[in-house]
């Protein structure tokens, strides 16, 4: 259940009998012709759809993450690693004070990887809690379904092009040669922008909606299974 649809008393009632919650982690960064909020949109939506039959509260996605490589693209907002970890620690502290002890971090952005280390540190000080970082698009079944659809899922290509991340004018056909990601990772922001041009890492711009729906269904089920296992 979305926290937006609950008041404080509903949260208190929930934590009297269950201590699970989901916290989506996103980013505000360039995604070529897709929404700048693609990572946050996908993380929050998969968490909401996964949690809905279980009644587990889902908090709004943290919309800012760690994305320095894209800082030369207008609209991209990045946090420093120490800032991001401090914000996430405060959020976990707050969730614990609310009564949540099992927290699933549904991550939609690869740059947020330090969240995993932060969660482990936080657990040292909070051994009565459980936190799991779930990179939803890299989960085994979801990744296998994506690769069965197209062998080249990558940043801002077909693999992130869902009806709810697509903007008017998003290319529906064609593809772009894949960039050298290893080279990209050692470039400063403006050189990275020059290398990427439109922002996509390459590959097909879009796949059929039916194919994307099949991937999404697996992602929702795989995320739900983690909540159920707790």
Other C-beta atoms lying within 10 Å of the C-beta of residue 182: 7
CA dist 128 and 132 (Å) reads 14
Above pLDDT 90, what percent of the chain?
98
pLDDT digits (tens, 9 = 90+) for 106-121: 999 999 999 999 999 9
Would you give the DSSP letter of residue 226?
Answer: H
Strand partners, 130: 102
- The predicted pLDDT at position 230 comes to 87
Query: Does some domain include residue 130?
Result: yes
User: In sequence order, what are the beta bridge partners of 204?
Assistant: 175
pLDDT at 144: 98
Radius of gyration of the CA atoms of the chain, in A: 18
Residue 111 CB neighbour total at 10 angstroms: 20
| Strands, sheet with 130-135, edge to edge from the N-terminal-most edge strand | 20-25, 102-107, 130-135
Q: Report if residue 148 sits inside a domain.
A: no
pLDDT, tens digit, 9 for 90 and up, residues 28-52 = 999 999 999 999 999 999 999 999 9
173 domain-assigned: no
For residue 27, give its domain range. Answer: 3-139+209-229
Q: Tell me the mean pLDDT in the region 16-36.
A: 98
Q: Report the run of H or E that residue 43 belongs to, with start and end.
A: helix 38-51
Work out how many domains the chain is built from and give that number: 1
Which domain CATH number covers 83?
Answer: 3.40.50.10310
Pairwise CA distance, residues 62 & 3, whole Å: 13
Is 172 within a domain?
A: no
Query: Average model confidence (pLDDT) for the chain?
Result: 97
- Contacts for 114 with CB less than 8 Å, ≥ 6 apart: 66, 81, 84, 85
**74 vs 126, 164, 190, CA distance in Å?**
39, 21, 11
């Amino acid at each position: 259940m979305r926290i937006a649809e609950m008041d404080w008393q509903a949260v208190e009632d929930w934590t009297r009998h269950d201590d699970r919650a989901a916290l989506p982690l996103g980013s505000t960064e360039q995604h070529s012709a897709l929404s700048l909020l693609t990572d946050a949109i996908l993380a929050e939506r998969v968490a909401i759809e996964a949690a809905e039959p279980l009644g587990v509260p889902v908090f709004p996605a943290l919309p800012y993450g760690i994305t320095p490589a894209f800082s030369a693209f207008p609209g991209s907002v990045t946090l420093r690693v120490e800032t991001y970890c401090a914000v996430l620690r405060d959020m976990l502290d707050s969730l614990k004070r609310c009564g949540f002890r099992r927290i699933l971090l549904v991550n939609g952005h690869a740059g947020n990887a330090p969240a995993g280390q932060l969660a482990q540190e936080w657990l040292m000080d909070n051994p009565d809690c459980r936190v799991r970082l779930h990179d939803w698009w890299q989960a085994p079944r979801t990744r296998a379904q994506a690769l069965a659809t197209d062998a080249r899922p990558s940043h801002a290509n077909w693999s992130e092009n869902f009806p709810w991340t697509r903007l008017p004018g998003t290319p529906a056909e064609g593809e772009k040669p894949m960039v050298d990601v290893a080279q990209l990772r050692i470039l400063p922001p403006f050189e990275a922008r020059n290398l990427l041009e439109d922002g996509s890492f390459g590959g097909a711009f879009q796949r059929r909606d039916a194919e994307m729906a099949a991937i999404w269904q697996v992602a929702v089920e795989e995320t739900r299974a983690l909540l159920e296992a707790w």
